[in-house]
């Protein structure tokens, strides 16, 4: 089994366990490559990739671009803020114009859920979803589960709590799919108003008390409150949110076990986690970022091998 079952990476929902393991094994190889003094391989010399970012991004955009360059692909970058989208061009027109420059793969972040699926049905290129609204963020979930596997040797049987704004988070949904696929036990924790009603149907449990959730888990994945996706107030104030759902060093030290802290970034220091937690030895936040490049190299490499 050395091929992905899919031609696009649109969401974890479309992957099976073999796909995940193949991506992890390929990432193991690339992680070794990017730690060499010559960090580049010629694998994708004949592939052109367009990174289309219709929504803000720092880590994900840089990580994809670096992954593509490490594989020796030709790369073009597009960000909506400086493009003709502002002049009223449709998504299909924008993308088809870019594809007529002979682009093989499109990495796209878009504010609309399902934008990647829509594109995959309408254009001739391999599509990688780099985050579609509050829907999925598959490479983030891959790098998160890869980081758990790296830390513990295995994801199966681990207790993982995802804390925060579950309702608006694509990281939460993709992580739930990935963790369940690999056999982890998953709980979500946050204000009731930020936990979708359907969540238990995904096989996860809801825990509204943070201390109880932390006491149960091996890993806490702390999410940012997605204020930009909220038209109304979902909790009284940031201060109250932090009091109930923020992790500080005192809380962490008061547990009778040493848990691992993860965060996809960007961190709002002092809101979901304090600086001393973010920078503590229990945090693997920067390992996640490092693993992101290897995971994205693996995804792009495996999808590109299906184009030829």
* Nearest-approach distance from CB 130 to ligand NCD, in angstroms: 8
User: Closest CB to ligand NCD among 31 and 224?
Assistant: 224
Cβ-closest position to ligand NCD: 224
Which residues in 136-175 are b (16+ Cβ under 10 Å) and which e?
A: bbbbbbbbbbbbbbbbeeebeebebbbbbbbbbbbbbbbb
Nearest residue to 104 via CA among 136, 62, 75, 63:
75
User: Closest CB to ligand NCD among 41 and 265?
Assistant: 265
Cβ neighbours of residue 85 closer than 8 Å, sequence gap 6 or more: 54, 91, 94
What are the tokens at 16?
């099976």
Between strands 74-79 and 185-189, the pairing is: unpaired
* Nearest-approach distance from CB 55 to ligand NCD, in angstroms: 8
Are the beta carbons of 300 and 49 closer than 8 angstroms? Answer: yes
- In angstroms, the CA 154 to CA 146 distance is 9
User: Closest CB to ligand NCD among 158 and 263?
Assistant: 263
* Nearest-approach distance from CB 3 to ligand NCD, in angstroms: 27
User: Closest CB to ligand NCD among 47 and 285?
Assistant: 285
User: Closest CB to ligand NCD among 137 and 149?
Assistant: 137
Q: Helix (H, G, I), strand (E, B), or coil: what is residue 207?
A: coil
Q: Which residues bind ligand NCD (CB under 6 A)?
A: 59-60, 131, 137, 140, 170-171, 224, 264-265
* Nearest-approach distance from CB 40 to ligand NCD, in angstroms: 24
Q: Measured on CA atoms in the order 246, 222, 177, 165, is the torsion positive or negative?
A: positive
Neighbour-count burial of 189, counting CB atoms closer than 10 A to its CB (0-12 exposed, 13-18 middle, 19+ buried)? buried
User: Closest CB to ligand NCD among 187 and 296?
Assistant: 296
* Nearest-approach distance from CB 65 to ligand NCD, in angstroms: 14
* Nearest-approach distance from CB 265 to ligand NCD, in angstroms: 5
What are the tokens at 140?
């983030």
Q: Measured on CA atoms in the order 17, 18, 20, 21, is the torsion positive or negative?
A: positive
- In angstroms, the CA 93 to CA 183 distance is 41
User: Closest CB to ligand NCD among 43 and 140?
Assistant: 140
- In angstroms, the CA 274 to CA 140 distance is 22
Q: Which residue has the tokens 């109304």?
A: 232
Nearest residue to 204 via CA among 172, 234, 245:
172
* Nearest-approach distance from CB 215 to ligand NCD, in angstroms: 25
* Nearest-approach distance from CB 220 to ligand NCD, in angstroms: 15
Nearest residue to 248 via CA among 270, 220, 225, 281:
270
């Amino acid at each position: 089994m050395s091929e992905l079952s899919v031609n696009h990476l649109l969401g974890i929902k479309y992957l099976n366990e073999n796909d995940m393991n193949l991506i992890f094994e390929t990432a193991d190889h690339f992680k070794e490559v990017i730690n060499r003094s010559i960090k580049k391989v010629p694998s994708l010399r004949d592939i052109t990739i367009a990174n289309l970012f219709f929504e803000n991004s720092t880590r994900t955009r840089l990580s994809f671009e670096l992954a593509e360059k490490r594989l020796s692909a030709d790369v073009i970058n597009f960000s909506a803020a400086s493009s003709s989208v502002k002049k009223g061009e449709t998504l299909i027109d924008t993308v088809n114009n870019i594809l007529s420059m002979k682009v093989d793969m499109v990495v796209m972040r878009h504010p609309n859920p399902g934008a990647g699926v829509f594109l995959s049905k309408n254009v001739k290129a391999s599509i990688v979803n780099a985050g579609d609204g509050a829907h999925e963020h598959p490479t983030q979930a891959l790098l998160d589960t890869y980081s758990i596997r790296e830390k513990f040797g295995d994801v199966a049987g681990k207790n993982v709590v995802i804390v925060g704004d579950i309702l608006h988070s694509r990281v939460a949904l993709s992580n739930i799919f990935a963790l369940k696929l690999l056999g982890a036990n998953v709980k979500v924790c946050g204000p009731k108003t930020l936990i979708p009603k359907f969540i238990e149907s995904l096989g996860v449990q809801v825990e509204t008390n943070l201390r109880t959730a932390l006491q149960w888990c091996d890993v806490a994945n702390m999410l940012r409150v997605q204020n930009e996706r909220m038209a109304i107030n979902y909790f009284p104030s940031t201060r109250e949110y932090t009091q109930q759902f923020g992790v500080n060093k005192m809380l962490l030290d008061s547990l009778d076990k040493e848990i691992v802290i993860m965060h996809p970034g960007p961190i709002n220091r002092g809101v979901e986690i304090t600086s001393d937690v973010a920078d503590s030895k229990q945090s693997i936040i920067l390992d996640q970022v490092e693993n992101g490049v290897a995971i994205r190299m693996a995804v792009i490499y495996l999808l590109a091998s299906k184009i030829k």
